[in-house]
Amino acid sequence: MSKRFYKDVLREALIEEMERDSNVFLLGEDIEVYGGAFRVTEKLNEMFGSMRVMDTPISEQAQTGIAIGAAIAGKRPVLEMMYMDWIGLTLDQMVNQASLLHYVYDGQVKLPFVMRTQGGARASASAQHSKSLEAWFCHIPGIKVVSPSTPYDAKGLLKAAIRDDNPVLFIEHKLLYGTRGEVPEEEYILPIGKADIKREGSDCTVIATSAMVLEALEAAEELEKEGISIEVVDPRTLVPFDKETVKESIEKTNHAVIVHEAWKTGGFGGEIAAIIAEEMFDSLDAPVIRLGAKDCPIPYSPGLEPLTVPNKDDIIAAVKKSLQ
């Protein structure tokens, strides 16, 4: 094991999969020469050439259509969608093509296609570069949705996504690229659809996604000083969602707080809360509490932006409310 940056292990995963399988290729805006907006594909064109690391025109719909066509033809495209905010431009291709073709062709067509994108706020990137829109795609059958919070998870799940025969939306967070964590030197792959307990506890389960996992862990440290033990569950993949790990945790703690950076209204936290209410209600000693961003555009202002999304203090307050 060695400590490595989130951004660097994503690059390692791409290199390893491209070396393993000549059908894997990368496409996206500014990924070939510039190395991508967040430098994940830096110098990969020198290693694999412009036919496997290719810049595309500024047309998100066209990029997605190219990737889908290539996947049908037997390739394994990895498309970098520079910002999640622009993913709406891909919806026709994703909703009416990528998610359906395996079904409508009765299994004769496979769609081994990964869309890498990043979302999230707290970087003063403005309202058009700070959204968390994962719930849109969780609603569409046929698309897997992955959202790793650590370098270890990011590498193992990206490799799994590339090898999967289904469309996978792979969501990164701009604040996580500079985080470091322990990653094995040898090859490993993590299963899509398996949650991870980032910290064990006994008083309250906090189900957190993406960068909110780090906020939850900080909250756990603070609460421990007050004698409150929280268990932090990271779903890692939203679709498929690991109900069993959540159920086992709630059966132990009898309390649940859900936190994500997406807007609270219509966010995937509502689906998690519904699952808990329908399937784990008897294990609860208090109502489920959801935390999400305020229902407003994400401000550019460094003073205002942090006020719109949850943080460790919000999580602490929610846990204490649940335990009252």
Query: In this predicted model, what pLDDT tens digit does every residue of 105-147 receive, in sequence order?
Result: 999 999 999 999 999 999 999 999 999 999 999 999 999 999 9
pLDDT, residue 262, reads: 97
Q: Using one digit for the tens of pLDDT, what is the confidence trace for 33-67? A: 999 999 999 999 999 999 999 999 999 999 999 99
Rounded Cα gap, residues 78 and 68, in angstroms: 10
Rounded Cα gap, residues 298 and 129, in angstroms: 9
Which residues of the chain does CATH 3.40.50.970 include?
Answer: 2-183
pLDDT, residue 36, reads: 94
Residue 60: active-site member:
yes
User: CATH number for the 196-323 domain, one of 3.30.160.250, 1.10.1760.20, 3.40.50.920, 3.20.110.20?
Assistant: 3.40.50.920
pLDDT, residue 1, reads: 87
pTM equals: 0.97
The token pair at 85 is 């905010």
Regions of the chain with pLDDT less than 50: none
Of 17, 29, 80, 129, the catalytic one is 129
Query: What one-character-per-residue DSSP string does 57-80 give?
Result: -S-HHHHHHHHHHHHHTT-EEEEE
pLDDT, residue 23, reads: 98
CATH 3.40.50.11900 fits 2-183, yes or no: no
Please report, rounded to a whole number, the percentage of residues in the chain having pLDDT higher than 90: 100
Which residues of the chain does CATH 3.40.50.920 include?
Answer: 196-323
Contacts of 258 (CB under 8 A, 6+ apart): 206, 207, 208, 269, 272, 273, 288, 289, 290, 291
Of 12, 29, 32, 60, the catalytic one is 60
Q: What is the DSSP letter of 56?
A: -
